[in-house]
Amino acid sequence: MKKPVLFLTALFACLGLWGQNLSDLIISEAMPGSPVSVADDYGNHPDWIEIFNTSQGTVSFGGCFLTDDRTNLTKCQITKDDRSTRIGPRQVALLYAAGNSALGTYYLNFTLPSGGTVYLVSNDGRTIIDSLSIPAALPEGMSISKFAHDNKEMVFDDIHSAAPSPLSLNGRHEQKSRAQKMKETDPKGWSLSLVAVAVVFSALLILFLIYNLSGNIFTGRVRLKRKKRSKAAEGPEAAAIALALKSYTSGEDDIPAAIALALHLYCGSGVHDTEPGFITIKVNNSSAWADKSLNFRKQTHKI
């Protein structure tokens, strides 16, 4: 039962993704043919339609339909399985509405309808992805274009006639590169240089401070306070130490040594120093069973 559900979920997810990709396409510009218009491979100047990929991924429009007739959405199909129908992120493709689709992949079997609408239809032949209305009175040498008020969001809500810009992003909102902006704001380069030098020094200065501190800690020049250790010893060890000190101060010299020996045995490999009046217990928490240095890390040598 689970397998079909998973399969269907995956299928719908894939279909959703696929559909979402096609929905990123728009008809961004169209222009009736004129002598000043784009020339095709045959040297003609047919009507043309520009399709723009608004997404950040590559989208293939092979198999999709273009039509000028709302009642016939499958009027002209773009060739399937043609790699050239893949549009890169934020890239465009140009289709010629020459009235003869036999001329090539990018040719349509209709011309631009003056006063009509062009539809881009998904490859299911039913879903209209986008449309563009062609004004009846489009000035000579002008195209009808969609503009994005915000190139980051890619919302093309501004449609009007403009100077044709085939195969390029429409509009006044040409995005300047950072280098171009830098050329305007810092033509001599001093600001960038000063900032960059400061950042490089800061980065290495921070590293210096960190490693200086860690070096001091590792070499013992700086000791981290161990709050837990600074607390008075508790439990049987504390009681034993207290007993040993009491015995020592009362003149029974052999008792502290016996207690220290007992503690030494109790703590495994613990030892005590010979400083009079103090007993230092060094606890080794590791057991020989867990100590990897005693078994796993041993190198084996061939004899």
- Give least dist CB 95 to another protein, A: 24
Cα 164 to the center of its chain, rounded Å: 35
Task: Pick the stretch among 119-127, 132-140, 204-212, 228-236 that binds another protein (CB under 8 A).
Answer: 204-212
Token output for 151: 């190139």
Pick between residue 217 and residue 261 the one whose CB is nearest to another protein.
217
Give the residue, chosen from 4, 136, 139, 190, that forms a contact with another protein under the rule CB under 8 A: 190
Q: Is 201 in the site for another protein (CB under 8 A)?
A: yes
Among 56, 58, 105, 212, binds another protein (CB under 8 A): 212
Per CB under 8 A, the list member of 36, 199, 243, 261 interacting with another protein is 199
Phi, psi of 60 (to 5 degrees): -100, 130
Residue 78 has what DSSP assignment? P
One-letter amino acid identity for 60?
Answer: S
Nearer to another protein, 20 or 212 (CB): 212
Write out the binding residues for another protein, residues 170-189 only, by CB under 8 A.
Answer: 177-180, 182-183, 186-189
**Cα–Cα separations (whole angstroms), residue 193 to 107, 173, 182, 199, 202:** 52, 29, 12, 10, 14
159 neighbors 185 (Cβ within 8 angstroms): no
Single residue of 203, 222, 258, 271 touching another protein by CB under 8 A: 203
- Tokens read off for 161: 């006639």
Nearer to another protein, 186 or 237 (CB): 186
What x/- string results for residues 213 through 252 when contact with another protein is judged by CB under 8 A?
Answer: -xx--xx---------------------------------
How many residues lie near another protein (CB under 8 A)?
33
| Parallel/antiparallel/unpaired status of strands 76-77 and 65-67 | antiparallel
Token pair 């009175």 is at which residue? Answer: 137
Q: 113: how many CB neighbours lie within 10 A of its CB?
A: 16
* Burial call 134-164: b when 16+ CB within 10 Å, e when fewer: beeebeeebbbbbbbeeeeebebeeeeebeb
How far is the CA of 113 from the CAs of 163, 192, 216, in angstroms?
19, 53, 81
Residue 202, classed as helix, strand or coil, is: helix
Cα diameter, the chain? 120
Q: Tell me, what DSSP letter sits at residue 204? A: H
**266 interacts with another protein by CB under 8 A:** no
Out of 17, 155, 167, 197, the residue judged to bind another protein by CB under 8 A: 197
Q: Fill in the per-residue mask, 66 to 85: x = in contact with another protein (CB under 8 A), - = not in contact.
A: --------------------
Shortest spacing between CB 188 and another protein, in angstroms: 6
- What's the closest the beta carbon of residue 250 comes to another protein, in angstroms? 45
Q: Is 13 in the site for another protein (CB under 8 A)?
A: no
Using rule CB under 8 A, residue 210 touches another protein: yes
Site of interaction with another protein (CB under 8 A) = 177-180, 182-183, 186-190, 192-193, 195-197, 199-208, 210-212, 214-215, 218-219
